[in-house]
Structure 1
């Protein structure tokens, strides 16, 4: 009898499974995030802290350590600030409020109206015209200062209130934002219902659409208010009369003479601190409208 022997088959090794990528420890990510937040907070808070402390110092104390509180001279600095150069600082403050509040209010309204028209109406060349508006977003405002000066010179309004006030009413970025808000906040069905009820386009915009666009109006107003309040180059080019200066240009004119007249140094610091107040008030007072609009736009 013959016995058949079978040769055992060679076993192949199982393929190696790919190793999962090694994850970084959770604590390392937290440290990186917290470090970035601390640096960002320090970058924001430290200059303001220095400004707060320095505004309480006299001229002699400012030469020492900036973060030490020796004597409190804040109210003395306020009195000197109000009486310096015949009280011109109060005039600069009023000018800035007129430029910023009036310019931001009218400019935001014009931006909302234009954005609403671009979104809800159809007319020939609409997208090409909107492309021109977007090109205006890309042009820096400093590049427009010289052409605006030449135009103002032709019109004879150089060194007047209108030379600074009228240009800040135009805000291409505000028109872009207003069109986005109009597309998201104003349903077409509401406009159709208003037209069926006999309301005209102006009545519909003023009574219905503008109320729905109020979060967008507040957003554009805050952006434009901050930009106009900090505007420096356009007034520098347009104005030579100190009575028409905004705060930014007025404080700069004081700072340029600090070397020759050191008594302007504490005045400049205290004036810079007071210049922050309207921006803070604007954001704190209008943020509830902003948040309410964002919440209502997220819930359908």
Structure 2
């Protein structure tokens, strides 16, 4: 009898318990195979991205004389970072502070307005049907493909006829239009807001405005932050549009003002202030770095939203 039992056990196939298979498969998913070429490429891209920032930080701590007598990627002489910052803020009666406030104004009204319009327009295009929707989609896609510099001269001619050049509105109003932001919110709202949720809200008696602000807008949060970051960076770094629109240095943004400082060395009787230009460039990028660090989690979730369907 025991021989029969032993032969039956030997003949029966050995099956691995389900929980063991799940643990082994989970281990394979949690620990992906390392790729040496991918690690090398990522390291090269990281170095390529950080070297200009390191150069900017190091040279912001040098005096005007040390900039031309020392190696660019190492410190030299006295540590003059704080004195350079003080001189940058005080130079020419504190015009740098005025340029900074102008840039903040353009970002708050321009990028903030562009984000608001993109959210409203993207939600409407994603959740409402109306005649001409496909044509409007084609227009939006075409507008994304057109660079902003191609529209700068026609915009200048139109604004000059309206008497708006050399005013803040000549920079703010064109910044309100963001075709890429509109397209991004369009696609994001299509995936982030289920149609069944809207139908349930309407059946419960909620109007369109109430359904949007109380139900849909919280779901659009990651997309809103993503569009806000893109429009903020575009407005903060905008150079060509203010260059052709503004003549009064009092309305310059930081990009145009720092370029004016840099051009002083090539003018007759101009003063070379390269240490202040470099320090001002460092102060200019600090708000962008802070914004990306503070909104990074919302930005990442906004980019990956809708990538996986259940």
TM-score computed with the length of structure 1 as normaliser: 0.86
The match for 2:73 is: 67
Residue 87 of structure 1: which of 90, 94, 98 is its match? Answer: 94
The corresponding residue for 1:174 is 181
Q: Is the 8 A contact 2:242 2:253 kept in 1?
A: yes
Between the aligned partners of 1:296 and 1:152, the Cα distance in structure 2 is 39
2:165 to 137, 158, 161: 158
1:233 aligns with 2:251: no
Q: In structure 2, what is the equivalent of residue 223 of structure 1?
A: 230
Following superposition, the deviation at residue 243 of structure 1 comes to 0.7
Q: Which of 1 and 2 has greater Rg?
A: 1
Matching residue of 1:128: 135
Q: Does the residue aligned with 2:161 lie in a helix, a strand or coil? A: helix
Distance 1:228 1:192, change over 3 A: same
For 1:22, the equivalent position in structure 2 comes to none
Q: Which residue of 1 aligns with 2:105?
A: 98
TM-aligned CA deviation for residue 188 of structure 1: 0.6
Q: How much is the aligned-residue C-alpha RMSD, in angstroms?
A: 1.8
Q: Structure 2-normalised TM-score?
A: 0.83
Shift of 1:259: 3.7
Note the residue ranges of structure 2 that are not aligned, 5 or more in a row.
1-33
- The count of residues paired between Structure 1 and Structure 2 equals 272
Determine which of 32, 44, 48 is the counterpart of 1:43.
48
Is 1:264 the counterpart of 2:273? The answer is yes
Gaps of 5+ in 1: 1-28
Which residue of structure 2 aligns with residue 283 of structure 1? 292
Q: 1:64-90 CA distances to partner (integer Å, 9 max, x unpaired)?
A: 222232210011111111111110000
Q: Structure 1, residues 151-209: CA drift from partner, whole Å, max 9, x if none? A: 11121110001000011010011111111111110011111111112222122112211
